[in-house]
């Protein structure tokens, strides 16, 4: 299920970090907490687990800011009076608690080390699901992240994968299979043997390096890619990718796509 939320600036020309994903994710957990603190804590701390795989089963898009000004020190001034965000969940329970929390708070706070920006929630729109089929084309509206273990300067490191890399599809498929199996087991649904059959890159990919949790001990950088792609295979598995995000770190605002 998808929601498009329209926010209105509480103060004009507010400033937020260019890499705001961590703060949006924190906002989502805070809103859910207003409805059910135990559920929010479970979703944040563990979520859906199977065979050492841990998923939160939600994702979100880049903020849609029609007018903005890029400032020094990786900051952004929001000139538009309104901004939009697309949220995507597969769990009805998560959606219910999110909506209940939104109706209590009616605003979004983006709290970062150097300041805070405030937005009123003006409108919430339900986005109808597409018809899921065996072959679909998507455009990323936040970067897709996939990685493998390797060495960098003789140290164990995480190597982020480019969609043009040989073998990318195998990592793409494995990640989606793990999500599909985990969600099916939690919902006591039968698991079909069908999997993904193919992945085709449709345009030139664009890399995006995003800072996460700046100013905290857990501060890190995550590299993903924006691109259009075609995927063929199990429609139920494709639906999981659409609703929860393709690739890793979906709950931090990665892997959100729209149908093209």
135-259 matches 2-127 in CATH topology: yes
Q: What's the confidence (pLDDT) of residue 156? A: 78
**Whole-number Cα distances in Å, 212 to 74, 175, 222:** 13, 21, 7
pLDDT the model gives residue 227: 98
Angle made by CA atoms 63, 38, 115, in degrees to the nearest 5? 40
Assigned CATH topology for domain 135-259: Alpha-Beta Plaits (3.30.70)
The pLDDT value given to residue 46: 87
Of the ranges 67-81, 124-138, 180-194, which one carries the lowest mean pLDDT score? 180-194
Q: For residue 190, what pLDDT band results from cuts at 50, 70 and 90?
A: confident
Cβ neighbour number for residue 71 with a 10 Å cutoff: 11
Least confident of 62-66, 110-114, 252-256: 110-114
Could you report the per-residue pLDDT of 193-203, keeping only the tens digit for each? Answer: 889 999 999 99
pLDDT category at 52 given cuts 50, 70, 90 is: confident
Q: How far apart are CA 63 and CA 143, in angstroms?
A: 13
Mean of pLDDT values over 239-250: 97
Higher pLDDT, 43 or 52: 43
Mean pLDDT of 154-180: 92
Q: Given pLDDT bands bounded at 50, 70 and 90, which one contains residue 114?
A: confident
Percentage with pLDDT > 70 across the chain = 99
Average pLDDT of the segment spanning 170-184:
95
Per-residue pLDDT, averaged over 175-186, amounts to 93
Instruction: Using alpha carbons, list the distances in angstroms from residue 110 to 39, 138, 158, 226, 257.
Output: 22, 29, 29, 24, 23
Give the number of other Cβ atoms within 10 Å of residue 130's Cβ: 14
Q: Please check whether the domain covering 2-127 is classified as CATH 3.30.70.1890.
A: yes
The average confidence (pLDDT) of the chain is 93
Q: Residues 249-254: what's their mean pLDDT?
A: 97
Q: Does the pLDDT at position 62 exceed 80?
A: yes
Spans of all domains in the chain: 2-127, 135-259
pLDDT score for 29:
94
Percent of the chain surpassing pLDDT 90? 80
Within 10 angstroms of residue 123's Cβ, the number of other Cβ atoms is: 11
User: pLDDT grade, residue 207 (50/70/90)?
Assistant: very high
């Amino acid at each position: 299920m998808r929601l498009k939320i329209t926010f209105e600036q509480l103060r004009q020309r507010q400033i937020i970090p260019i890499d705001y994903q961590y703060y949006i994710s924190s906002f989502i957990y805070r809103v859910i907490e207003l409805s059910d603190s135990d559920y929010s804590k479970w979703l944040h701390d563990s979520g859906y687990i199977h065979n050492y795989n841990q998923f939160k089963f939600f994702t979100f898009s880049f903020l849609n800011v029609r007018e903005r000004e890029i400032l020094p020190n990786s900051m952004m001034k929001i000139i538009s009076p309104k901004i939009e965000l697309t949220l995507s969940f597969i769990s009805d329970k998560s959606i219910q608690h999110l909506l209940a929390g939104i109706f209590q708070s009616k605003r979004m706070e983006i709290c970062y080390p150097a300041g805070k920006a405030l937005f009123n929630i003006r409108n919430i729109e339900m986005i109808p699901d597409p018809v899921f089929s065996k072959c679909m084309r998507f455009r990323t509206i936040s970067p897709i992240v996939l990685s493998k273990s390797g060495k960098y300067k003789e140290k164990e490191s995480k190597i982020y994968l480019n969609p043009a890399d040989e073998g990318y599809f195998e990592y793409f498929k494995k990640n989606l299979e793990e999500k599909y199996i985990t969600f099916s087991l939690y919902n006591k649904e039968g698991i079909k043997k069908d999997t993904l059959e193919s992945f085709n890159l449709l345009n030139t990919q664009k890399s995006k390096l995003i800072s996460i949790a700046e100013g905290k001990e857990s501060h890190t950088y995550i590299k993903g890619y924006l691109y259009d792609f075609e995927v063929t295979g199990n429609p139920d598995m494709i639906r999981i990718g659409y609703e929860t995000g393709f690739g890793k770190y979906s709950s931090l605002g990665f892997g959100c796509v729209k149908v093209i």
